[in-house]
Structure 1
Amino acid sequence: MEPLFETVKVLVTGKVQGVSYRHSTVRMAHQLKLRGWVQNQGDGSVLALLQGEPDQIDRMLAWMRSGPPAARVQDVVSETLAAEKRYEGFQQL
């Protein structure tokens, strides 16, 4: 039986650009074997799409609440999506 697979959209606000947040997110996603992407938004936030098993996603969300040392995360809002597309890996856009 195939493991449970979720897709979660995550918006991170605070001081999360110019502090290696995206690069660190890619590294952590690779460690957790997640798929998807992360990108900066014009308003200074970071948007990510995570795909993987629920426990992997929970661990990633916990990490994203603090991020790398220079980041100052204000808020992390996540939303589970019904996604048809499955990403092959995890990348920075």
Structure 2
Amino acid sequence: MSVSSHDSSLETHSIRVHGRVQGVGYRAAAVRQAHMIGVRGWVRNVEDGTVEAIVQGSPDQIDLMLEWMRRGPPAARVATLDCQREPDDRRFGHFEQR
């Protein structure tokens, strides 16, 4: 199975955001930002108080989304952001809040 040049530049990253990131509109703001940047994937709250996301896009798009996620919306206080590139064959059609 061949991979097009477009697909070869597509990266998938698993992200965990720590800090004051729940109850401050982080997920909804992340969806808006993702749509502006053009990345795909999802974002959700985790029971431990963090926010988890899968972000898929070009390296430049990923960089822009990570830059935003390190700050978040005005009420958020991001302490740390863990990011790991994932070898993932899934293709997401859009970015959504879960």
* Alignment TM-score, normalising by the size of structure 2: 0.92
1:53 match: 58
Question: What is the percentage of aligned positions where both structures have the same residue?
Answer: 48
1:23 match: 28
2:93 match: 88
**Runs of 4 or more off by more than 4 Å in structure 1?**
none
Report how many aligned residue pairs link the two structures. Answer: 93
Distance (whole Å) between structure 2 residues aligned to residue 2 and residue 85 of structure 1: 14
Q: Is residue 77 of structure 2 the alignment partner of residue 72 of structure 1?
A: yes
Give the counterpart letter for 1:20 in structure 2: G
Aligned-residue Cα RMSD (Å) equals 0.8
Shift of 1:74: 0.4
Q: Is residue 50 of structure 2 the alignment partner of residue 42 of structure 1?
A: no
* Alignment TM-score, normalising by the size of structure 1: 0.97
Q: How do 1:4-23 residues align onto structure 2 when only pairs under 5 Å count?
A: 4-23=9-28
